[in-house]
Structure 1
Amino acid sequence: MEYNAVYVTIAILLVGVALIWYVFKNVGNKKVVERDVPDRKELDSILREHVDFFDRLDEKAQQVFVDRVAYFLATTKISAEKGAQVGEVDKVLVAASATIPLFHFDKWSYENLDEVIIYPGTFDEKYDVASTDKNILGMVGDGVMNRKMILSLASLRAGFAHSSSSNTAIHEFVHLIDKADGDTDGVPDYLIPKSLVEPWLHEMHKNITLIRHDQSDIRDYAGTNPAEFLAVVSEYFFQKPTFLQQDHPDLYALLDKIYNQK
């Protein structure tokens, strides 16, 4: 019986090493920080149950998605703090949030992110979860928190409820993509072709004006500034693409060109 347990452990480790090797060959080359990555079968099962975006993919694309989720989990530390109880499903949801915005790009990685920190609920700008002014669901860190992201566990889970049109984790990863060129300004140079910059700026500022004058059904927070506009409408694009296409066809068409490049 003891020998069987040893053989099973060795087999699991070999499968994990093989998965990580395959993923790094096909996805990217960031340093491994976590070797205890769930196997493909477990990842596939979690994604099918919890991630609508994954369900909309064909079988071949789903296998690529699994590879990229495994890559993120192997190269990015995910930490529970302030009493958060983070399970395997939660970690996979974080990785899925990272994978979704950049899925249609052949080679990608979040070079400006080392760690995702999970808090149990909301927090304030000083990362205080006991503050009376705590109202932040997610944040890309600066200063001493540079290369870190903080997410509320409650909002992470809520974002993947099948009826949800918002997703805090995707929102924050879009901010991270926007920030990759040095400016968090709503124009993600990392993604957007030069030919689309002017049309995107026009569509973005037009919609921000409509939002600020209560003439749009897009969430008010998108009118805060261009960076928040990009993050919020990206949530709509990935969570409820059919509704965005019906209600805002020009905006949808631009986001489709930005995110679905081949």
Structure 2
Amino acid sequence: MTNKKMHSRGETRPRRTHVPHRTWWSIVALVICMTLLAASLGGFFRVRSVKVVGASLPSDAVALTAGVVGQNIFTVRSDQVVRRLASMHELDVQRVDAVFPNGVTVYVRMRRRFLAWRDGKALYEVDPQGRIIAQVQTTHLPVIDGTQPGQTLPPGIVQAVRYAAETLPSAPRGDIATFHMDPKVGLVVVGRAGWQAAVGRGTPQTLVDRIAELSSVLGDPQVRQHGLRFVDLRLPTPFLRLAGV
């Protein structure tokens, strides 16, 4: 007969101590937080490099102007970086990404110099949205004269001037003398043949359509015979005044 170890009724068995799962997770979370805090205080999460993505960019100047080197990566705000880089007018910032654990990437492209604007004595080059890129002494771009509140030309006028400069010279007597902004009329185009066209104001598509209408007017047989003096393109049907009538 096998002897079995028997416990007397008065003997107390040892009990195992169980640590609740919640307690374990709390301990793990605390350790992680302390580790991150120590790393943060030790400079592990401070931005050490700024990567600039884009073609033909002044990368060193962009990184310096971004102003994030040495900053804790968790406090880097893309909107603040974009505002700082707005001082570099030739740049169009696409986005700013924080790269864990200590980097920042800035996606940038150069703004296209689309048109020149002479505001009094100052000459500026602007992008397709009419925003000033830089003040210049000379330019090879089409130039529009006139004053405009603020630092931006209306995009419709910018697009219309560029389109006119590219297309009107191929129309009969379509060579352009000047573009200017009239406070009351808006865009006015003056031809070398002596004609004037009131193009007005509007969206890019509206003003480009009016320039296309001007090209058609210049090609009209009656206009070619007598010559054009003035055309108002702001009306549903253009109003014409012929030179020889």
TM range (shorter): under 0.3
Structure with higher helix content:
1
Structure with higher strand content:
2
> Larger radius of gyration, structure 1 or 2?
2
Q: Which has the higher contact order (CA 8 A, sep 6+)?
A: 1
Normalising by structure 2, we get a TM-score of: 0.25
Normalising by structure 1, we get a TM-score of: 0.24
